[in-house]
Structure 1
């Protein structure tokens, strides 16, 4: 078995699509989906290893405003292949104004990673 895809609600569908295309080489799979009745739009993004991310937007779904940690989904990790790529992408994102919440380091469980926030505050680990 494998995870088929992960989906996240977003406020700005086009900006989030552009972010994942620009920094993580995502490719849009098919056309933007739009259900006028439900006021729902989405994109499926695909990555080179076959993993997929669904970005979904519906005007009635609004962003959370607190920073309290709750149970449930907290982050996903993107593998970029090497320590050098982790460092490079982290610095590129920093230069482009994105928030780095965890500097590149080797964690206690042996991962080399940094942690960033995407444009809407979703936490992404960038790892080997």
Structure 2
């Protein structure tokens, strides 16, 4: 697998999800990442990638033969409309509702939507508002 650019100084270098149905995942992630203005970087028969997110089959050379466990990934959105577009794209592309767009109590201005991807991973798009914008691009929690 390759990347277009190396980003030093980030907390997360890259994330890999190993999925059970690559085509279903590719359809889902192309749609939600497209809503966030993030293009796919490349693909092959057993993987695809965008920025520092790599998604592969269990038989991919980069995987260890097993589907990854349930993860929570949060992608930053540029505004509330982008969160809404992410949510609509996810539901139209095989995602399942896990929390409609709206304010959350985490901090003032936290506007997010949550969906489950085809493997049950909790995928979020969040806009932190103007006063609290963060420089991190992806957050993962276990």
Q: Assess same fold via TM > 0.5.
A: yes
Q: CA deviation at 1:74?
A: 3.3
Select the structure that is richer in strand.
1
Where structure 1 has 5 or more consecutive residues not aligned to the other structure, the ranges are 34-40, 65-72
Q: TM-score, normalised by structure 2?
A: 0.62
Counterpart-to-counterpart distance in 2, 1:28 and 1:14? 16
Secondary structure of the structure 1 residue equivalent to 2:27 = helix
Query: For residue 7 of structure 1, what is the aligned residue in structure 2?
Result: 16
Query: For residue 32 of structure 1, what is the aligned residue in structure 2?
Result: 44
Alignment of 1:101-116 (within 5 A): 101-110=98-107, 111-116=110-115
Equivalent of 1:99 in 88, 96, 101: 96
Matched, 1:42 2:42: no
**Contact map agreement 1:11 1:63 (CA 8 A) in 2:** no
Alignment of 1:77-96 (within 5 A): 77-96=74-93
Q: CA deviation at 1:98?
A: 2.5
Counterpart-to-counterpart distance in 2, 1:21 and 1:97? 11
Number of matched residues? Answer: 107
Counterpart-to-counterpart distance in 2, 1:97 and 1:127? 20
Matched, 1:55 2:55: yes
Counterpart-to-counterpart distance in 1, 2:91 and 2:23? 21
Deviations 1:77-106 (A, max 9, x none): 112211122123323433555311112222
Where structure 2 has 5 or more consecutive residues not aligned to the other structure, the ranges are 1-8, 60-64, 128-142
Q: TM-score, normalised by structure 1?
A: 0.67
Q: CA deviation at 1:75?
A: 0.6
Deviations 1:91-123 (A, max 9, x none): 343355531111222222222101101112111
Kindly report the root-mean-square deviation, in angstroms, between the aligned alpha carbons of the 2 structures: 2.5
Q: Which has the larger radius of gyration?
A: 1
Dislocated runs of 4+, deviation >4 Å:
none
**Contact map agreement 2:16 2:54 (CA 8 A) in 1:** yes
